[in-house]
A and B are shown apart, each in its own frame.
Chain A
C-alpha cells in the first residue's frame, strides 16, 4: 500500500473493484482480552449468513492473561471463508490482522503464515514512549519483510480514537468493519450481528460498537487498495452455525438426557457453559461435582435410577474416570462419556488439539472392559453422535465414549438445522412391574443383551455389583460363571458390530494409497486427497466413526490399495523405530489398533503440533509416500498444490 504495488494475500492484481476469489483464510491475533475471537466469530457468522462456507479455529493461550505483547500469549482466531462448504482450517493465512508485532511471531512459529501473507499490523508501537518497544517493533517489521510477509503498518488504534476513548476495547469491531469491507460482506448483516453479540449490554454499547464497525469500513476503503467477493452457495436448507461444544450441548438436549455431571476442564467445559444457560428449560440439570470421579459416579447413579446421564471431560478427567467406566461395563449401566481431547499426557496442552486418547478410551479400564467408542469427525457429528450414543448406551446397556477434540470444540461451521423427533429422545422411566421370573441380567445367549430393571419397578429389586456375578446379580466367583458373563458383555458389542456398515471410501475404492483417519482431521485429509487426485494420483481416504466395535470390511478395502496408512494427530516414533528395528517402533494409535485387528500392514504418519493439520502437510505426505513407492515423479508438484 505504501508503495502502491503490494500483493494482497490472494495473488490477484490489486484493485478497488472487488475481485472474485473462492477461498480466503483470515486471522486476527492480539493479546488476550482484546476481543479478537469475538470479532472473528462475528465475521464467520456474517460470512455464513451471507451464504459462504465457513470454518473457524480459535487460537487460545493456556493462561487467561498471559503477558502482553508476548509470542506465547498470542490469542485470536482463524476464519476460513469459501464459496463451497468448508471442512477444515486450510493451509497458511492470506491476511492476518495483528494488534502487535510479537503475537504475530506466535503465528510464525506455528507455520500459519507464508511468503506473501498480508499482515495488517497496528503501527502505534512505532511511536511508543518506551524505546525498547519501539526497537522491538522496527526490528520485527524488518524481519517480517525479510521473511516475505507483506506488512501494511496501519494506524488502527489512532483511527479508533475518533469513535472511542478506549480503542483497546473497541478495536475488534473496527477490525470487523475492515474485514467486512475487504471481503465485501453485507454491512446490514454485520450491524445485526453486532446487536446480537451485545444483546445483553445497553443500547449505548451496541451503538458505539456499530460506530466502530462503520469506522473500520471507512478506514479500509480509504487505506486499502484491494477487496474481494466470494461467491455464495445457494441453499434451500435451513442452517445453523455452532461450534463443536455447543453441538454437544445441543445433542445432549436432543437426546433427552436430563443430567450432565462434570468437573471443569479445558477444552470440555464450554459445552457445559453453553448448556448451563438453557438446560433447565428442557428440564435438565448440570451437576458440577467435586472431581471427575464423583462426576462419573453421580452420572452412573442417575443412570442406574433410570435417567441415563452424560459426563463430559478431557484427558486428565478421563484418566480419573477409568475405574467407574469399568464398573459401568461390569454392571451394564448405560452412560455417555464425552472426551474432548487435548494434548497429553498429564496436563499437556490444555487448549490445543491432539488425538492421543484413543488407547485410553479403548483400553484404560483394567480387566476386560468392552465398551462402545465413537469419534466425531465434524461439528455436525458432535451433535448427532450424542443422540446415537444415548440410544446405544440404553439399547446395549453399556457406557459409550464419544471422542471429540479441541479443534471441533472451538471451531465453528454451518450445518443443516436438525429437526429433533421423539425417537431421538430418552423415553420416560419405565416404572411398570418387572416381569415375574425375569433375571436382572437375563442375557440372551446369542446377542448378550438383557433387559434392565429400574428402581421403582416392583419385583425388579436386585443389587448391582462390580463383583463378578450371575444373571441374578449374585456375587459368584466360580470359573464358568465368570467366563460366561464376560462373554455376554463382549457379545453385546459384537451384536452392535453386526449392525454397522462398512465405511465409505472418499475417492476410488482401489488405487495406490489409502489414507485412514479418525476424528476432526477429515476435512484436511479429504481436501488433500482431492488435490492429489486432481493431479492424477491414485489416492483415496477412509474415515472411521466407530473404533469399538470396529467398522466391518476394512481388511478387504485395505487389500485393494498398494499401501494403507493412517494420518493422525498423535505421537509415533520415526518410521523404522529409533533403533532401526521397526518392531520396536511406537506407532500412531489407530495404526497400531488396525494392524492388530486386520493383520494388514497399515503404516502411519502422525505429529503432535497441538494444531489441526493443514491439507498441504498431508499433500506432502502423499507425495513423499508415493515417491518412496516409485509412483510419483510429480510428487514435488503435489507438495505445492
Chain B
C-alpha cells in the first residue's frame, strides 16, 4: 500500500505495485537467453511508473520472444506468428487508455509480419515495440532469419546464409511517420532499461531493436561487440538514452547525435563497422492514429439510437 520514492520520502498510494506484481511466473526461456533481461527491464519500468496491471497489455506474435506476455502479470495477447502489430493497434484503437508493450522476433516482425510492421510504423499508435533480434529463428530451431549475417550456418542454409541482412532500424527510419527508433544490446541491462524507459515515455510508436543472443543457435553473433566495447558506438544527447554509469562506462566510442536529425540517424544506423546503440530518432509531434480511431468511443447508447433513427429517414419511403 505504500512505497518509498527515490528521494526516500514516503509516497502513500491507494495501490502500490512492487516488481512481483508484474511477474507472471517463471520465464521458460533457455538459461542465458537475452530475453530474460529485457523482461526484467520492462517489469522495472512498469513498477517505476506504477502502471496499473489491469491497464497494461502485452501483445506478441509467435516465437521464443513472443512468450513474453506469459511472464508478465498484466493483460496479454499471445496471438499469431507475424501478427502482433495489427492486434496491438486494434487494442489501442478504441482503448487509448491502455498501455501497450509489443514483443516481436526478427522473423515475426521482419519476415512474416513485414507488411504490418511498415504500416504500424505509419499508424504511429502510442506503444513500445520491442524487436528481439537474435538473427535467427529460435522457436522453430535454427532457420535463417532476414537479419542473419551472410555465412551464418542454419538448418535451412547449412552452407551459410547467402543474402545480405535486412537492417530493421534503417528500414523503420525510412517509413513515413516514423516517430521513435532506438537500439540497445541485451548484455547491457542498464542500457536496455534506459532505452525502453525512454521508449515508454515517448508519445507514439517507439521501435526498439534489441540485439539479443540466442544461447543455443546464435551465442556468438555479437561476440565481437561484446568482448570489445570499442566496437559499440554509444549515441549521446540530452534528449537521448541516458543510462547510468554502469551502463555506459565501458564505452569509449561515443558520438553526439541529435535525435531530431533523421538523415544523420539513417547514416549512423547504416554503419557496419560498429554497432551503434542509443536513440537515433524521435519526434513526439507526429500524428498518432488513435487520435482519429478513438473519436466517439464515449458515445452513449441513447445518442446512438437517436442518430440511427434519423439516419433511417434517408431510406424512408
Co-complex (A, B): yes
| B:280-317 near A, CB below 8 Å | 292-299, 301, 303-305, 307-309, 311-312, 315-317
Is A461 an interface position by the 8 A CB rule?
yes
Chain A residue nearest in CB terms to B300: A428
Closest residue on chain B to residue A301 by CB atoms: B90
Any chain A CB within 8 A of the CB of B86? yes
- Contacts A305-B57, A307-B95; is A463 near B77 (CB within 8 Å)? yes
What B residues does A422 contact at CB under 8 A? 301, 305
Q: A327-B80, A425-B304, A461-B75 are known contacts. Are A259 and B296 too (CB-CB below 8 A)? A: no
Q: Is B19 at the interface (CB under 8 A from chain A)?
A: no
User: Which residues of B lie under 8 Å from residue A507 when comparing CB positions?
Assistant: none
Q: Which of B87, B301, B307 has the most CB of A within 10 A?
A: B87
**Residues 104-146 (chain B) with a chain A CB within 8 angstroms:** 115-116, 118-119
Q: How far is the CA of A546 from the CA of B239 in the complex (A)?
A: 59
Contact A298 B70 (CB under 8 A): no
Given the complex, which residues of B lie within 8 Å of A460, measured CB to CB? 54, 75
Within 8 A of B (CB), among A484-535: none
A300: chain B residues at CB < 8 Å are 79, 87, 90
Q: Which residues of B contact A338 (CB under 8 A)?
A: none
- CB atoms of A420 and B93 under 8 A apart: no
Interface segment out of the listed A235-243, A369-377, A584-592, A628-636: A235-243
CB <8 Å contact, B317 and A48: yes
Q: Which residues of A contact B72 (CB under 8 A)?
A: 463
Q: Which residues of A contact B95 (CB under 8 A)?
A: 302, 305-307, 455-456
Question: Nearest chain A CB to B300's CB is how many angstroms away?
Answer: 8
Q: List A residues 248-268 near B (Cβ within 8 Å).
A: 250, 253-254, 256, 258-259, 261
Say whether A299 faces chain B, with CB atoms less than 8 Å apart. Answer: yes
Question: Considering only CB atoms and an 8 Å cut-off, how many residues of chain B contact the other chain?
Answer: 58
**Neighbouring B residues of A241 by C-beta, 8 Å:** 315, 317
Decide if A287 is an interface residue (CB 8 Å cutoff).
yes
**Most chain-A CB neighbours within 10 Å: which of B70, B76, B83?**
B83
- Say yes or no for B241: interface residue by CB 8 A criterion: no
Interface of A is mostly: mixed
Bound complex: CA A307 to CA B119 (Å): 22
Task: Collect the chain A residues with CB atoms within 8 Å of residue B307's CB.
Answer: 253, 278, 281-282
Q: B299: shortest Cβ distance to chain A, in Å?
A: 3
Contact with B along A275-286 (1 / 0, CB 8 A): 000101111110
| B93 near A466: Cβ-Cβ < 8 Å | no
Stretch in A76-84, A127-135, A289-297 with 4+ CB within 8 Å of B: A289-297
> How far apart are A156's CB and chain B's nearest CB, in angstroms?
28
Given contacts A250-B311, A455-B91, contact A463 B75 (CB under 8 A): yes
* Contact B308 A305, beta carbon cutoff 8 Å: no
| B276 within 8 Å of A (CB atoms) | no
Q: Is B73 an interface residue (CB 8 A)?
A: yes
Question: Given B55, B73, B79, B292, which contacts A466 in the complex, CB threshold below 8 Å?
Answer: B79
Chain B residues, CB < 8 A from A283: 295-299, 303-304
CB–CB A456/B98 < 8 A = yes
Evaluate contact between B311 and A253: CB separation under 8 angstroms: yes
B76 contacts which chain A residues (CB < 8 A)?
Answer: 461-464
Q: Of all chain A residues, which has the CB nearest B21?
A: A461
Taking the closest CB of chain A, its distance from the CB of B173, in whole angstroms, is 19
Do B86 and A289 touch across chains, with their CB atoms under 8 A apart? yes
B52, B77, B316, most chain A CB atoms within 10 A? B77
Q: Are B86 and A298 in contact, CB atoms less than 8 angstroms apart?
A: yes
| Chain B 83-97 near chain A by CB (<8 Å), digits 1 or 0 | 101111111111101
Query: In the complex the two chains form, what is the Cα distance from A427 to B302 in whole Å?
Result: 11
Given known A253-B304, A253-B308, A461-B53, contact A298–B90 (CB-CB < 8 A) = yes
Question: What 1/0 mask marks residues of chain B from 49 to 70 whose CB sits below 8 Å from any chain A CB?
Answer: 0001111011100100000011
* Shortest Cβ distance from A417 into B: residue: B312
- How far is A283 from B301 in the complex, measured between Cα atoms in Å? 10
A298 near B87 with CB under 8 A, answer: yes
Q: Are B86 and A282 in contact (CB under 8 A)?
A: no
Tell me, yes or no, whether A458 is within 8 Å of chain B by CB: yes
- Cα-based distance from A301 to B93 in the complex (angstroms): 8
Pick the most buried of A48, A418, A456: most chain B CB atoms within 10 A of its CB. A456
Residue A67 interfacial (CB < 8 Å) = no
Closest A residue by C-beta to B59: A301
Nearest neighbor of B316 in chain A, beta-carbon distance? A240
Query: Which of A238, A261, A281, A427 meets B316, CB within 8 Å?
Result: A238
Q: Tell me which residues across on chain B come within 8 A of A561, comparing CB atoms.
A: none
Cβ-defined contact, A301 with B316, below 8 A? no
Whether A297 contacts B83 in the complex (CB less than 8 A), given A291-B115, A462-B75, comes out as: yes
Closest A residue to B117 using CB positions: A290
For B305, the chain A residues whose CB sits under 8 A away are 420-422, 425
- A323: chain B residues at CB < 8 Å are 80
Residues A285 and B70 in contact in the complex (CB < 8 Å), given A253-B304, A258-B94, A297-B80: no
> Once the chains bind, are B87 and A301 in contact (CB under 8 Å)?
yes
Let me know if B24 is at the binding interface, CB within 8 A: yes
Interface flag for A148 (CB, 8 Å):
no
Task: Tell me which residues across on chain B come within 8 A of A155, comparing CB atoms.
Answer: none
Answer whether residue B78 sits at the interface, using C-beta atoms and an 8 A cutoff. Answer: yes
**Residue A397 at the B interface, CB < 8 A?**
no
| Shortest distance from the beta carbon of A514 to any chain B beta carbon, whole Å | 36
Check A456–B55 contact: CB distance below 8 A. Answer: yes
- Find A293's partner among B52, B83, B88, B308 (CB 8 Å cutoff): B83
Q: How far is the CB of A578 from chain B (nearest CB, A)?
A: 39
B316 engages A417 (CB within 8 Å): yes
A395-431 CB mask vs B (1 if < 8 Å, else 0) is: 0000000000000000000100111111001011000
Q: Confirm or deny: A570 has a beta carbon within 8 angstroms of a beta carbon on chain B.
A: no
B74 within 8 A of A: yes
Partner of A463, one of B70, B94, B317: B70
Chain A residues in 8 Å Cβ range of B292: 285
B295 in contact with A282 (CB, 8 Å): no
Interface residues of A in 1-56 (CB under 8 A from B): 45, 48-49
- Chain B residues in 8 Å Cβ range of A425: 301, 304-305
A463 to B74, CA, bound (A): 8
Flag A307-327 by CB within 8 Å of B: 1 or 0 each.
101000000000000011001
Contact A287 B293, beta carbon cutoff 8 Å: yes
Cβ–Cβ contact B78 & A324, under 8 A: no
Pick the most buried of A281, A305, A309: most chain B CB atoms within 10 A of its CB: A305
Q: Which listed residue (B89, B97, B298) contacts A298, Cβ 8 A? A: B89
Q: In the assembled complex, which residues on chain B have CB atoms less than 8 Å from the CB atom of A459? A: 54
Task: Assess whether A596 is interfacial by the CB under 8 Å rule.
Answer: no
What residues of chain A lie closer than 8 Å to B69, measured between beta carbons?
463
Among B54, B88, B118, point to the contact of A301 (Cβ < 8 A). B88
**A456 touching B78 by the CB < 8 A rule?**
no
Residue of B nearest to A259 (CB): B94
| A354-383 interface bits toward B, Cβ cutoff 8 Å, 1 = contact, 0 = none | 000000000000000000000000000000
Please encode chain B, from 190 to 228, with 1 for each CB lying within 8 Å of some chain A CB and 0 for all others.
000000000000000000000000000000000000000
CB-CB nearest in chain A for B317: A49
**Min CB gap A295→B, angstroms:** 8
Which 9 pairs of residues, A with B, have the shortest CB-CB distance?
A: A301-B90, A283-B299, A283-B296, A297-B86, A463-B76, A298-B90, A240-B315, A294-B86, A301-B87
Pull 29 A–B residue pairs with CB atoms less than 8 Å apart, ordered by A: A240-B316, A240-B317, A256-B301, A258-B94, A259-B90, A259-B93, A282-B303, A283-B295, A287-B293, A294-B85, A294-B116, A297-B87, A298-B93, A301-B59, A301-B87, A302-B90, A304-B77, A304-B90, A306-B95, A418-B312, A422-B305, A425-B305, A456-B97, A457-B54, A458-B54, A459-B54, A463-B77, A463-B78, A466-B62
Interface residues, chain A, CB within 8 Å of chain B? Answer: 45, 48-49, 238-242, 246, 250, 253-254, 256, 258-259, 261, 278, 280-285, 287, 289-291, 293-295, 297-307, 309, 323-324, 327, 414, 417-422, 425, 427-428, 453, 455-467, 475
Question: 13 other contacts beyond A301-B91, A464-B76, with CB at 8 A cut-off?
Answer: A241-B315, A258-B94, A282-B303, A285-B292, A291-B115, A293-B116, A294-B85, A295-B86, A297-B83, A298-B93, A302-B95, A456-B95, A458-B54
